[in-house]
Amino acid sequence: MVWLITTLIAALAVTIAWIVVSEKYKLSFLALMLWGLSVMIFVDHVLGYEGGAFLEMETDGLITSGIVLGIAMLIPVFILWEAVLVKAKLKNELEEKIAG
């Protein structure tokens, strides 16, 4: 369950950055994805809860460390966010070339 805490920390940090920084970096989209991931992890854990400790440091899967699992779950989110940024930048450059 540490992967939920890792994701929540990332979501909070990006939300605070979104409030402070301009919309140039599309942090609202990143924050939305991170909050969605946090809700998804929480619901999954609640539905699969069978008693015992609610917050676990280790997992039974291929990645045994909860912190490493949390980071591994964040990597695709950041890759998708970067792809959206690159697409938006290319679109703006193309529009500028067409217009001018």
Tens digit of each residue's pLDDT (9 = 90 or more) over 63-87: 778 788 889 999 999 999 999 999 9
Rounded to whole angstroms, the Cα distance separating 65 from 87 reads 34
pLDDT of 51 > 80? The answer is no
> How many Å separate Cα 43 from the centre of its chain?
16
pLDDT at 57: 65
Per the structure, the complete domain to which residue 67 belongs is given by 2-99
- Of residues 95 and 82, more confidence is placed in 82
Average pLDDT rounded to a whole number, residues 3-16 = 92
Rounded to whole angstroms, the Cα distance separating 84 from 65 reads 30
Q: What is the mean pLDDT of the chain?
A: 86
Each residue's pLDDT tens digit, 54-65: 666 667 777 778
Q: Phi and psi of 63, rounded to 5°?
A: -100, 115
Domain count, the chain: 1
